[in-house]
Structure 1
Amino acid sequence: MKALVYTNPNEMQLLDRPYPSLNQDEVIIKIDSVGICGSDMHAFHGHDPRRKPGLVLGHEFAGVVVETLSQAIPKGMRVTGNPLITCGVCEYCEQGRNNLCSNRTMVGMTRPGAFAEFMSIPAKTLITIPESLSMDAAALTEPAATAVHAINLSMRALHRPIQECNTLVIGGGAIGMLAALLLKHFGVINLTVSETNPLRRASIDQHVSCKTNDPITHSVTENTYDYVIDCVGTKLTRQSAFVAIKPGGVIMHVGLQDWASEIDMRKLT
């Protein structure tokens, strides 16, 4: 089969790769649509040491089951799924915190991903795609779930109804736009998306209809927002989030680019 392989920093090649093997409780999917995550781009540029050259990237996928060893997932089913594969038996999985699974593996990181004609994956990670949903839209399920989870988790800590919060989303990429769309769906009126790319700002204007600004030309105003969602995750955006947030406000850090960070501990108090 053909696969798009990350071969070196800033280099990918369309190569022949072996057809996936089928293990117990797994299925093989014929990939129809696949998204390009920001983490795929970081890997492509050589900025993610977890993703080594020789890897097939891609973890936002939709496709059709063509082979199966699972009774729950028949051939012909249209599926997408969770690229995080967990053991189900460790301490964290038993607590329901499977994102912390001690034995977790990841499609497009520790095993071949979806930038290929076919991919194998455990059946337990899959969900059925409704007939009303296109394959292209279904491939965005994982990033959409990321935005949903981030908002559901952080809004519990808000000191007022989310609809009344002056809210800032930092970053207008896929996660940022999905977060902004969800916030509008939840009834947030005072919503701003901060984004440097003018094409992304135009897309946000078209699809979200909220305020946008360019952080390069418009500095963040201190102590302005009740709720800040950082969908970029650099040192600069984390610092901007702390500047922007009001005392007692809530910051949700979704993006994770720079792993090291300095935060204003006094602001936390």
Structure 2
Amino acid sequence: MKALVYDGVETLTFRDVPDAVPDPEQELVRVVASGICGSDMHAYLGHDDRRPAPLILGHEAAGVIVGGDRDGTRVTINPLVGCGICAACTSGRDNLCADRKIISMPPREGAFAEFVAMRPANLVDVPDDVSLDKAALAEPLAVSWHAVRLGLVALDPAASRSALVLGGGAIGLAAALALKAQGLSSVTVAEPNEVRRSFLEKRCDIPCVPAGTGSYGLVVDAVGYAATRASASSLTEPGGVIVHIGLGEDTGGLNIRRMTLQEITFIGTYTYTPQDFRDTCSAIFDGRLGPLDWAEERPLSDGARAFADLRSGAVAAPKIILHP
């Protein structure tokens, strides 16, 4: 099969690789759409030791089952696989499983390929009236759906129902959409890139500002740098919540004294639970997350150029979907 292979820092090669072969407990999925994630970009830049070259990246995918009783079924893929037996998994929190694995991280190859093998429990059927490009957005949307759900549960009743999202990339946009879908009407995105701000306002109807000002009941850091954490801890109201999704830098930025004195809750969030993934799919299918027409589409064979364009900041759209 053909695949886009990460062969070294800023080096991607579209070439033949061994066919994906499912084990007896897996389905073979022909990939129709696969999105480029920020973690793929981290690997591409050589910033992720968990993804050594050579490796097929990609974990945001949808496609069609090939063979077996469900041949031809359209599905979207939950790429996160827990052990199934630990306390985290048995309580429905597979995302905290110590032995969790995700496709695009050894020993699992990713979805920038013609085929990928997945267990049936990680596949969600897609209605015929929903495009597989939209269905491929389920993974990044689920990341933010999970984060927003946790943040709203922790929000003090006295805090305002206003939210600021730091970062207008795919996860930031997904957070803004999830906030609206889960009941908040006052949502603003802080994004320094003027081209991206214009895209989000015109294409996605999301209010944007160059940088956050004022105060908010809930602040979502979809970037994760010291500078954005500093903004989050200064812009959150007393009794408010900071939801931290971004993985830009490990340390720095938080004003712990202010957060302590103002009883500001900080929540770190990682991926999603299986139920969050299913709930996100339902919200995609019934339209609660909007038209989801803001991704740019390119052939997988042009994947190296797509990564280079993202690296240079030449892409206005918050997501690129690759088609094998």
TM-score, structure 1 length as denominator? 0.90
Unaligned runs of 5+ in 1: none
Aligned to 2:104: 108
Find the partner of 1:263 among 247, 254, 270. Answer: 254
Matches within 5 A, 1:1-269: 1-68=1-68, 74-110=70-106, 111-160=108-157, 164-215=160-211, 220-221=212-213, 224-269=215-260
Kindly provide the CA deviation profile for residues 192-246 of structure 1, in whole angstroms up to 9, marking residues without a partner as x: 211122222112212443431113xxxx436x12110111111211111111112
- Equivalents in 1 of 2:127, 2:48: separation in Å? 34
Alpha-carbon deviation of 1:67?
3.3
The alignment partner of 1:119 has SS state of strand
- Equivalents in 2 of 1:103, 1:182: separation in Å? 28
Change in 2 beyond 3 A, CA 1:40/1:161: farther
Alpha-carbon deviation of 1:105?
1.0
Q: What is the number of residues matched between the two proteins?
A: 259
- Equivalents in 2 of 1:231, 1:167: separation in Å? 13
The alignment partner of 1:156 has SS state of helix
Of stretches 185-194 and 143-152 in structure 1, the one that deviates more from structure 2 is: 185-194
Off by >4 Å, runs of 4+ in structure 1: none
Aligned to 2:289: none
Alpha-carbon deviation of 1:174?
0.9
- Equivalents in 2 of 1:182, 1:206: separation in Å? 19
- Equivalents in 2 of 1:185, 1:66: separation in Å? 34
Higher RCO (Cα < 8 Å, 6 or more apart): 2
The CA RMSD measured in Å over matched residues stands at: 1.8
- Equivalents in 2 of 1:50, 1:140: separation in Å? 23
- Equivalents in 1 of 2:194, 2:18: separation in Å? 42
Q: Do the aligned residues in 2 keep the contact of 1:31 with 1:116 (CA within 8 Å)?
A: yes
Unaligned runs of 5+ in 2: 261-324
Of stretches 171-180 and 259-268 in structure 1, the one that deviates more from structure 2 is: 259-268
TM-score, structure 2 length as denominator? 0.75
Q: Do the aligned residues in 2 keep the contact of 1:180 with 1:208 (CA within 8 Å)?
A: no
Alpha-carbon deviation of 1:159?
2.0
Q: Do the aligned residues in 2 keep the contact of 1:221 with 1:243 (CA within 8 Å)?
A: no
Change in 2 beyond 3 A, CA 1:14/1:102: same
Alpha-carbon deviation of 1:57?
0.3
Identity %: 43
Kindly provide the CA deviation profile for residues 152-203 of structure 1, in whole angstroms up to 9, marking residues without a partner as x: 11101112388x5232100111111122123234453432211122222112
Change in 2 beyond 3 A, CA 1:122/1:189: closer
Q: Do the aligned residues in 2 keep the contact of 1:58 with 1:108 (CA within 8 Å)?
A: yes
